[in-house]
Amino acid sequence: MSDSLVPTQVPVTLAPSFSFYVPATRPDRISAAAAFGDALTVAGPTGPDVVGKLRDSGFTKAALFDGMGYAGTKLPGVEQ
């Protein structure tokens, strides 16, 4: 097995950490919470788009997306 497949450090989402659960509808809270935690869990179907826009502005924290935030929402490219 190649050594290039072995991560050099444990991702923050797998290590003990402190994180916040924030709604995708509040990008201001996402940015504010990032100052205090190691990672964020963003809830809601627009989460990936919101975090993408924040990344374009320099946001660098680890972000997870809550799958239950998508419950009842028809997503593009997904057969129901």
Residue 18: pLDDT band by 50, 70, 90 thresholds? confident
- Angle between the N-to-C axes of helices 47-56 and 27-34, in degrees from 0 to 180, rounded to the nearest 10: 60
Whether the pLDDT of residue 73 is over 60: the answer is yes
Inter-residue contact 27 to 50 (CB < 8 Å): yes
Q: Where exactly are the structural domains of the chain?
A: 16-68
Question: 36 has which bridge partners?
Answer: none
Whether the pLDDT of residue 15 is over 80: the answer is no
Give 56-67 pLDDT, tens digit per residue.
999 998 898 886
Instruction: Using the structure block, give the residue that is written with the tokens 């946001």.
Output: 59
Q: What is the pTM of this model?
A: 0.67
Between CA 36 and CA 29 the distance in angstroms is 11
How far is Cα of residue 8 from the mean position of the Cα atoms in its chain? 21
